[in-house]
Amino acid sequence: MIVVEARLQPPQFFQLSLLRHFQRPSFYFYAVTAAVLTALTYTINIDIMFLVVGWVPFGLYMILGLANAFAGSRNPEQPYFLQTRYEFGDEELRLSTSRGVSVLEWGRFKEWRKVVGCYVLVLDSGPIMAIPVADVPKGRQPALEDFLKKKIPL
């Protein structure tokens, strides 16, 4: 069993929030719509209002994503900022904080990645868990990565 004591820091939360916001399909929908309407406006000389129709929703999407990430990273009462004990067992991942204990079977995870200085475990329902790499003892990082590769294939 691998045990890690970790705490996500606000800058890491901010970066992960932005990364997830800009990887959603809705971001690409708004971006492609704005690009197509821009191209149409300049190539076939249609009304300039098409730029507004494309760029206002896209701009709002980006601004709201930044605002949500900023607000979430400034709220120290959120559970993702609590000191958390992760126990990586053969059958499950056990999380313990001052607010309680959760147990997740490995089958509930669909992928994991190492991004923004964190091990990011993605649940099949969409939410993520981020474990800062810096909180994993240096000698245990390769063992944790091998363990995750076996339990949650990339």
Residues 6+ apart with CB under 8 A from 81: 7, 8, 9, 10, 13
Confidence (pLDDT) at 72:
87
Confidence (pLDDT) at 32:
94
Sequence ranges of the domains in the chain = 2-7+81-151, 12-73
Mean model confidence pLDDT for the chain: 89
47 against 4, higher pLDDT: 4
Predicted TM-score (pTM) of this structure: 0.81
Confidence (pLDDT) at 86:
92
Look at domain 2-7+81-151 and name its CATH class: mainly beta
- Identify the DSSP state of 77: T
- Whether the CB-CB separation of 12 and 116 falls below 8 Å is answered with yes
Banded model confidence at residue 127, pLDDT cuts 50, 70, 90: confident
Determine the Cα angle at 114 with ends 108 and 119, to 5°: 55
Q: State yes or no: pLDDT of 30 exceeds 90.
A: yes
- Whether the CB-CB separation of 74 and 10 falls below 8 Å is answered with yes
- Identify the DSSP state of 147: H
Banded model confidence at residue 154, pLDDT cuts 50, 70, 90: low
CA dist 52 and 50 (Å) reads 5
Q: State yes or no: pLDDT of 43 exceeds 80.
A: yes
